Amino acid sequence: MDEYLILMRLDIITKEAQPSPEQLQVYMKQYHDWVGGIAAQNKFVGGTALSTEGKVIKPKNVITDGPFAEVKESIAGFITIRAKDFDEAVSLAGQCPILGGEGNSVEVRRITGGHNG
Amino acid sequence: MDDTQLIPHLFRTEYRKIVSVLCKYFGLGGIENAEDIASETFLTAAQSWGLNGIPPNPTAWLYSVAKNKAKNYLQRHDLFREKITPALQSGISPMRPGEVDLSPHNIIDSQLQMMFAICHPSISGEAQIGLSLRILCGFGIEEIADAFLTNKETINKRLFRAKEQLREGKIKIELPGPLEIESRLSPVLTTIYLLFNEGYYSISRDKPLHKDLCLEAMRLCTMLIENKQTNQPQVNALLSLMCFHASRFDARLDDNDRIILYEEQDTSLWNTDLISKGGYFLRCAAAGDKLSKYHLEAGIAYWNTQRADTKEKWENILQFYNRLLQIEYSPIAALNRTYALSKANGKQEAILAAEKLELTDNHFYFALLGELYTSIDNAKARINFQKAYSLAKTQADKQAIQKKLDKL
């Protein structure tokens, strides 16, 4: 079993792209059910959602507001999971409910180094 | 309570008090002496009460006999010179023999300190549970062996080793400091939680419900809540959880000590006092910003005190399980989560989730699949119930599964 990072990217900034409180409630349920399903398979390692504010620091101490490179690609949250191979990791990540939204994406990366080699 | 039950009952509640207080004098090095004196006290009681009748205040009688025995013991055995004197010099044990203090205040303090000594991180988990059953719950060696499905010899060895660890670790009978209290509480709560579960679920192994064990666990937890230093949110959450479960004590067993499934229980037998107590401690647990697994389990247990099958109930239970599994995975939580998923989101989704669990050595897993397939694909339901039947270990479980098969 290796550990994989699942990065969830979506537009969390543009006002018009944000869900209503009712929609948000539905999305949160879908999200928790998805993570709960991974945890029920004993494949959840850790991770969490992130707040929308943030700072980006660049060389020469240039600090800008915003947790994003491109607006549409801000990181909304991340979790780490256990999977036997990349295929399984991708299949678990592929169920992520944010993929129901146009323009959103989920990135899967294998965690290397440390005891996971 | 009739006379024949009085001594076993007092043994459960008073043995640990006497041992804890005496250990404060002897140090953990003298734990066996403390146990001997406590046991002899009960032996004397059984003989004397049998002949002369029960004294007006049996507990006070026990304390006074224990005090005398401790005094005689110390005088007779030179223990004072060999063990207590060095202890006095190192400041562990400031009391002198003859002043054994069995006041309510000292009893409570000693028991609390004893809990932390027994659940010291340097002692193995198995030993912690064994010692807790013996010292804190007054269980006999045979009863402990029964609880662990093993023999007396194994338990004796385990307890012997545990006491050795207590001595070697030079563990003191004291409350941890304020900075340590949270981390030291964790194994104490685990032990109490396991004691409770041992009592509550022992039925699944063709054993009568060890209600006593559950009540002891609740008593120990209550002691932690009554002390200002140990009255933390997660302790309240644990007591809340136990109250909610215990509320079904009288409803979950029939006259022949067979378990009655939740759906078939007579709710008028559910104990509403315990349900409100559970609610009270759950509110107390809401202080602070940490969410422990006990909070989540108490939340689930709360919703299980509501019989009505509402959408709200199952949605809440599902979300508690989603979070619980992230903190601590267990097969039973995964199965229960999947059941809640079927109630909240429908059977189709739950079947997909269940097939991924792959808990194929667990009869509850196949029983769950059988349940989910029922009325969707009865042939598959039958196959799964049959697998569950062949994997089930106890008669009670087999009967419950057979009932489901008959209904198909």
pLDDT tens across B342-386, in order? 999 999 999 999 999 989 999 999 999 999 999 999 999 999 999
User: What pLDDT digit, counting tens, does each position of B163-184 carry?
Assistant: 888 888 888 888 998 888 888 9
Residue A117 lies in a domain: no
Residue A36 has its nearest CB partner, among B315, B337, B357, at B337
* CB neighbours of residue B281 within 10 Å: 24
Res. B77: pLDDT tops 70: no
Architecture of domain B326-408: Alpha Horseshoe (1.25)
Q: Residues 57 to 96 of A: which have CB under 8 A from any B CB?
A: none
Please indicate whether, in this complex, the C-beta atoms of A32 and B323 are within 8 angstroms of each other. Answer: yes
Chain A residue with CA closest to B318: the answer is A33
List of chain A residues whose C-beta atoms are within 8 Å of the C-beta of residue B333: 40
Identify all chain B residues contacting A40, using CB atoms and an 8 Å cutoff. 321, 325, 329, 333-334, 337-338, 353, 356-357
- Kindly report the nearest CA distance between residue B353 and chain A, in angstroms: 7
pLDDT computed for residue A79 by the predictor: 95
Band of residue A18 on the pLDDT scale cut at 50, 70, 90: confident
Mean pLDDT, chain B, as a whole number? 87
CB contact under 8 A, A40 and B345: no
Determine the angle formed by the axes of helices B233-246 and B181-201, rounding to 10 degrees.
Answer: 10
Q: In what order do the strands lie in the sheet with A105-110?
A: A44-49, A75-83, A2-9, A105-110
Buried b (16+ CB within 10 A) or exposed e, B24-56: bbbbbbbbebbbebbbebbebbeeebeeeeeee
- DSSP lists the bridge partners of residue A62 as A58
* Secondary structure element (H or E) that encloses residue A7, with its range: strand A2-9
Q: What is the pLDDT of residue B85?
A: 61
Quick one: closest CA in B to A34, which residue?
B322
Judge: B329–A32 Cβ closer than 8 Å, yes or no. no
- pLDDT (tens digit, 9 = 90+) per residue, A40-88? 999 999 987 777 778 888 888 888 887 666 667 788 889 999 999 999 9
Res. B126 pLDDT band, cuts 50 70 90 = confident
pLDDT band at A116 (very low <50, low <70, confident <90, very high): very low
Q: Which residues form the domain of A85? A: 7-112
Q: How far apart are CA B27 and CA B167, in angstroms?
A: 9
Domain harbouring A87, CATH code: 3.30.70.1060
In angstroms, what separates the C-alpha of A44 from chain B's closest C-alpha? 6
Nearest-angstrom CA–CA distance, B37 and B76: 13
How remote is the C-alpha of B229 from its chain's centroid? Answer: 21
CATH number of B1-102: 1.10.1740
pLDDT average, residue stretch B297-318: 95
Asked if residue A13 belongs to a domain, the reply is: yes
Q: Is A1 among the domain residues?
A: no
Q: Give the 3-state secondary structure of residue A10.
A: coil
Domain ranges of chain B: 1-102, 326-408
Compute the count of residue pairs across chains A and B with CB atoms less than 8 Å apart. 46
More confident residue, B127 or B87: B127
The answer as to whether A2 is a domain residue is no
CA distance B202 to B213: 10
Domain total of chain A = 1
**Number of residues that this document lists for chain B:** 408
ipTM: 0.87
pTM confidence score? 0.84
